[in-house]
Structure formats: structure tokens, C-alpha cells
């Protein structure tokens, strides 16, 4: 397979065929993200000849893998007809594949009409991963996310209305110590309006090659304490409306793991967080955390 730069994929795509159709991220301005900062990862849509070769390789060697993830940071930016044709080629050349997935930016999603998204769904696009990070407008501005909370809701709803499984990522700690609870409450409110199929909660890890990492070094940004992060998670869970979704807070960046379904497992989650706050549940040591 032909890969350029670092390949980033969601944890749930660990067993997918990773088909790199673009390099980097077209937005690439989020102050917390260091994934695509190297010069060789300047955003570009890959030449079709590389994608075709990778499809041929997958057809010969990846017959036990039943999902395809289209990398990198925002594959939905590929023009509609080209992306449609790609999804159809995947179904033709890899007929055993049951789902195609990709990352999508909020603004990119909003540029697709409901009819275009429905066409992609019919062609095999079954799952979209979208980074919300926070439902707080001030935090979204601070991290240069490039979209408002209202736009995030509209984008998420558009994917859901097209029948596409929507997984939304939130970041504990992204509001800093000063906006910790504001961030948690606003994020719960946005998720309640959006009602994604899956919520994935990660914890912010400060990276030296990011603006936020440098701000922390200079004392202009302070992460909440472990206790503060747990309180954020509890506030977020407390504030969610009663809708059905998968809930995962089991990423390597988190201090402890939660995994289940809402609203069924809400009380169990809150009890586990209570144990962590009381010091009776073991938290992950720093050296075991990662991205």
C-alpha cells in the first residue's frame, strides 16, 4: 500500500483496510492537533493511479478485512463524482467489504447536499467520523476549529438524515482549567441536539508542535487537573439528553475507560466516575497514556 506521511485513523478502524486517498488535512489550523504539521503532509488529493494500485493490492491480500477507511484528515473534501466513483470501485473490486468510512470536517459536510450524502450512502459510505471537540463557541474559536456549535449541529444532523452512522469526538480538557465546566455543559447540549450514533471522548494531550502546547509551556493555557477532567466527564454525561447511542471513553489518552450504551449505562458510568473521584478506582499512569 502507498502511504505518505503519518496515517491517522479512529480506534474502531484498527482492522480496516486503510486506503489513503488524500494526504493531510485541508483545514490543518486546529491549535491542539499536531498530526499533519510536517511539510510532506501538505494537503493534497492523491493521484488516482496510487489509489488504483492500492485497491488492486487489497483485492489480492486483504480478503479477511471487511471495512475500508479512507484516509487522511478529511476525505469528504474529494469532489462528489470522484468520491462516488471511488466508493463504487471499492464495492466492485472488494465485494466482501461491508462498510466504507472516513473523517469529515464540519464545513465539508455542510457543503454536501442531503441528496449528495444520500448518494454516497447508497454507494457504500456507511460511517462518518467528525471532530466536535467542544460545544462551546468560545472554545471552538480559541482552538481555531473553523465552525460554530450551531454549524456542528447542522452538519451532524445532515449526516444522520442521510442514514450515515455518525461518530463524534469530544476532547476533555480542551477548554482549559478556566472553561472546564462551561465546555462540558455546552458539549453535552450540542451532542443532545445532534444525537450522533456514537460519542467518543478523548483527553487532550499537549504536543510541542502545536500552538496550544506552546501556550501551555508559556503559562497561557492550563489543563484541568485529573480531578477536573473527571468532573468534566461527569458533567458531560449528566447533561446529555435521553437518546440512544454508543459511548466510548476508552481511548489511550484517557485516564480510565468507559464503554457501553446510553442511556442504558449512564448510571454505571456515573458510579465509575464517582469511584475514580473518590480514589477507589485505579487511574492510568501518565506513561501509559498516548495518542
Please check whether residue 90 lies inside any domain of the structure.
Answer: yes
pLDDT at 119: 98
**Dmax of the chain from CA atoms?**
57
Whether residue 115 is contained in a domain is answered as: yes
Q: Is 147 inside a domain boundary?
A: yes
Q: How far is CA 105 from CA 82, 190, 280, in A?
A: 18, 16, 39
Reply yes or no on whether the pLDDT at 1 is more than 80: yes
Q: With respect to residue 6, please indicate whether it lies within any of the assigned structural domains.
A: no
How does strand 44-45 pair with strand 67-71?
unpaired
Percent of the chain with pLDDT over 90: 89
Assign residue 217 the CATH number of its domain.
3.20.20.70
pTM: predicted TM-score of the whole model, two decimal places = 0.96
Please tell me the predicted confidence (pLDDT) of residue 39.
Answer: 73
Answer yes or no: is 5 within a domain: no
4 assigned to some structural domain:
no
pLDDT digits (tens, 9 = 90+) for 113-147: 999 999 999 999 999 999 999 999 999 999 999 99
Report how far residue 134's alpha carbon sits from residue 196's, in angstroms, rounded to the nearest whole number.
14
- Please give the average per-residue pLDDT across 57-67, as a whole number: 96
Tens digits of residue pLDDT in 199-257: 999 999 999 999 999 999 999 999 999 999 999 999 999 999 999 999 999 899 999 89
Residue 1 lies inside a defined structural domain of this protein: no
Q: Is 125 exposed, middle or buried (0-12, 13-18, 19+ CB in 10 A)?
A: buried
CB 213 within 8 A of CB 207: yes
Residue 3 domain-assigned?
no
Number of folded domains in the chain? 1
Residue span of the structural domain in which 166 resides: 11-288
CA-CA distance, 8 to 71, in Å (whole number)?
7
Q: How many CA atoms lie within 13 A of 75 on its CB side?
A: 29
Residue 40 has pLDDT above 80, yes or no: no
Dist. CA 3–CA 50, nearest whole Å: 9
Instruction: Give the Cα separation of 102 and 71 in Å (integer).
Output: 7
Amino acid at each position: 500500500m502507498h502511504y505518505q506521511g503519518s496515517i491517522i485513523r479512529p480506534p474502531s478502524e484498527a482492522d480496516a483496510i486503510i486506503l489513503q486517498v488524500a494526504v493531510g488535512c485541508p483545514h490543518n489550523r486546529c491549535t491542539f492537533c499536531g498530526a499533519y504539521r510536517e511539510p510532506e503532509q501538505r494537503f493534497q488529493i492523491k493521484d488516482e493511479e496510487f489509489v488504483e494500485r492500492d485497491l488492486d493490492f487489497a483485492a489480492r491480500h486483504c480478503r479477511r478485512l471487511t471495512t475500508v477507511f479512507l484516509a487522511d484528515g478529511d476525505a469528504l473534501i474529494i469532489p462528489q463524482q470522484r468520491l462516488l466513483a471511488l466508493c463504487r470501485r471499492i464495492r466492485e473490486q472488494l465485494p466482501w467489504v461491508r462498510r466504507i468510512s472516513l473523517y469529515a470536517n464540519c464545513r465539508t459536510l455542510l457543503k454536501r447536499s442531503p441528496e449528495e450524502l444520500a448518494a454516497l450512502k447508497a454507494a457504500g459510505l456507511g460511517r462518518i467520523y467528525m471532530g466536535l471537540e467542544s460545544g462551546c463557541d468560545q472554545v471552538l474559536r480559541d482552538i481555531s476549529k473553523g465552525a460554530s456549535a450551531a454549524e456542528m449541529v447542522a452538519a451532524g444532523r445532515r449526516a444522520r438524515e442521510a442514514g450515515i452512522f455518525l461518530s463524534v469526538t469530544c476532547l476533555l480538557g480542551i477548554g482549559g482549567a478556566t472553561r472546564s465546566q462551561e465546555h462540558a455543559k455546552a458539549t453535552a447540549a450540542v451532542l443532545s441536539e445532534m444525537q450522533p450514533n456514537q460519542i467518543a471522548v478523548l483527553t487532550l494531550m499537549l504536543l510541542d508542535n502545536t500552538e496550544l502546547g506552546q501556550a501551555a509551556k508559556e503559562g497561557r493555557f492550563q489543563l484541568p487537573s485529573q480531578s477536573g477532567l473527571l468532573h468534566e466527564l461527569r458533567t458531560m454525561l449528566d447533561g446529555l439528553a435521553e437518546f440512544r447511542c454508543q459511548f466510548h471513553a476508552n481511548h489511550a489518552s484517557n485516564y480510565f475507560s468507559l464503554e457501553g450504551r446510553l442511556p442504558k449505562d449512564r448510571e454505571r458510568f456515573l458510579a465509575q466516575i464517582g469511584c475514580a473521584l473518590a480514589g477507589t478506582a485505579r487511574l492510568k499512569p501518565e506513561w501509559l497514556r498516548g495518542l
